[in-house]
């Protein structure tokens, strides 16, 4: 089972919208069962899920204290992917979420305020030795600040090669618990989400292969070596 945390110190970065969209796309791509977890007291992701006409992806109600145990329960129940939405903060609560994740996705708008805010999240991911990926969200591809943001963020970690552009259909689709992939499957916004999920899924698969490669293996006489 893969565990992905969406984190950003800056409010309005698009964590909740991306969490819902990526979870639905993962289900559509055959990655399910997928479960969503909302650790933001505002409960926006939970409200979106309650408005959904479908039961997938699943929603797992938990608390920060119970999160590690509930993550293990989801694993035992056969869940393949867990996406965790977090509040816009930098505190020990967020660190506890990152500690149970294998990948931290940091949505970032290409603005000076957003770029300045990434340092705290990066520090927590590094503290947990957790891989991180920046996702540029609500971008204008023709604006110079977009390319400047890529250069700035690349100094701190990997930047996803798929940008999510500023479009109203992302917000519109969330009103009744859907996503752009369900509202207009052939649209440009849906294409971006499909490509973004494919990229993130590839990163997760790469990490899984690395874990298998480095797993200790028993070789005669009780000796253990690391491959």
99-116: pLDDT as tens digits: 999 999 999 999 999 998
DSSP of 50-110 = HT-SS--SEE----TTTHHHHHHHHHHTT--EEEEE--S--SHHHHHHHHT-SEEEEEE-S
Kindly provide the residue ranges of all beta strands, DSSP E only, lying in 95-212, ordered along the sequence. Answer: 103-108, 131-139, 158-159, 164-165
SS3 content of the chain, % helix, strand, coil (to 5): 45, 20, 35
User: Tell me, what's the pLDDT at 218?
Assistant: 43
- How far apart, in Å, are the Cα atoms of 82 and each of 39, 75, 165, 181? 13, 9, 25, 19
Q: State the Cα–Cα distance between residues 125 and 23, nearest whole angstrom.
A: 21
User: Tell me, what's the pLDDT at 225?
Assistant: 39
Could you tell me if residue 52 is left (phi over 0), alpha (psi between -120 and 50 degrees) or otherwise beta? beta
User: Tell me, what's the pLDDT at 11?
Assistant: 87
43-75: pLDDT as tens digits: 999 999 999 999 899 999 998 889 999 999 999
Let me know: does 149 contact 156? Beta carbons within 8 Å.
no
Strand partners, 225: 217
6-48: pLDDT as tens digits: 999 888 899 999 999 999 999 999 999 999 999 999 999 999 9
Average pLDDT, the chain: 90
pLDDT band at 224 (very low <50, low <70, confident <90, very high): very low
207-223: pLDDT as tens digits: 777 665 555 544 433 34
pLDDT band at 86 (very low <50, low <70, confident <90, very high): very high
Question: β-strand 81-85 against 2-6: which pairing, if any?
Answer: parallel
Going by C-beta distance under 8 Å and a sequence separation of 6 or more, which residues neighbour residue 208?
Answer: 2
Q: Answer yes or no: is pLDDT of 90 > 90.
A: no
Whole-prediction pTM: 0.89
Tokens of 136: 């540029």
Of 3.40.50.300, 1.10.357.10, 3.90.550.10, 1.10.10.10, the CATH number of 2-226 is 3.40.50.300
Q: State the Cα–Cα distance between residues 26 and 17, nearest whole angstrom.
A: 14
């Amino acid at each position: 089972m893969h565990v992905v945390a969406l984190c950003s110190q800056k409010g309005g970065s698009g964590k909740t919208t991306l969490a819902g969209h990526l979870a639905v796309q993962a289900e559509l791509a055959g990655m399910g069962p997928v479960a969503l977890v909302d650790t933001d007291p505002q409960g926006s992701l939970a409200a979106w899920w309650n408005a959904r006409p479908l039961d997938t992806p699943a929603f797992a109600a938990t608390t920060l204290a119970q999160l590690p145990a509930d993550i293990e329960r989801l694993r035992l129940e056969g869940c393949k992917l867990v996406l965790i939405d977090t509040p816009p903060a930098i505190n020990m609560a967020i660190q506890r979420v990152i500690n149970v994740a294998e990948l931290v996705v940091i949505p970032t708008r290409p603005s000076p305020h957003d770029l300045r805010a990434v340092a705290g999240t990066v520090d927590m991911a590094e503290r947990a030795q957790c891989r991180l990926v920046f996702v540029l969200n609500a971008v204008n591809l023709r604006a110079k600040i977009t390319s400047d943001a890529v250069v700035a963020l690349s100094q701190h970690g990997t930047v996803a090669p798929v940008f999510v552009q500023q479009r109203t259909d992302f917000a519109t689709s969330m009103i009744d618990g859907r996503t752009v992939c369900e509202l207009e499957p052939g649209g440009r916004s849906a294409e971006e989400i499909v490509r973004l999920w494919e990229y993130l899924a590839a990163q997760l698969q790469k990490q899984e292969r690395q874990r298998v490669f480095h797993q200790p293996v028993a070789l005669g006489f009780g000796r253990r070596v690391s491959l």
